[in-house]
Amino acid sequence: MHTIRVSGDLDVRRINETRQLLLKSLTDSDGIVVDMSDVYRIDSAGLAGLVEVLQAARVSGRSFKLTRVRDGVMRVIRFARLHRVFFDAEKDGMIPSEGYEAAA
């Protein structure tokens, strides 16, 4: 499984580049972990791009996880009601002080 560190804003201006990188990395491995510790802002286009990569991972039987999600970005994910899509609510994998981390 590859870990990919994403940085900057995941918004309408940058998501296509990031989405392509994540999709390519997904096809080159059995799954990816996306380190979001350097992402400070995400918009609806950014969320849609991440959902697209998650769906591609599921269809191909690969793993896709977000890790170290900053509180502000996590608030947007929760507002969009996508936290249960990206994180397993049954696991104790969310660490607000260092960012949210997907369960292993």
Higher pLDDT, 87 or 93: 87
Of 50, 56, 11, 13, nearest in space to 31 by CA: 56
Q: What pLDDT, in 10s, does the model give residues 32-67?
A: 999 999 999 999 999 999 999 999 999 999 999 999
In angstroms, the CA 67 to CA 94 distance is: 9
Domain segments of the chain as ranges = 2-100
Of 43, 45, 44, 51, nearest in space to 86 by CA: 51
Question: What distance lies between CA 45 and its chain's CA centroid?
Answer: 13
Question: Which numeric CATH code is attached to 2-100?
Answer: 3.30.750.24
Q: Which two tokens stand for residue 54?
A: 């998650």
Q: Lowest mean pLDDT of 1-5, 27-31, 77-81, 97-101, name the range.
A: 97-101
CB count, 10 Å around CB of 59?
8
Q: Lowest mean pLDDT of 15-19, 72-76, 78-82, 91-95, name the range.
A: 91-95
Q: What is the pLDDT of residue 14?
A: 94
pTM above 0.75, yes or no: yes
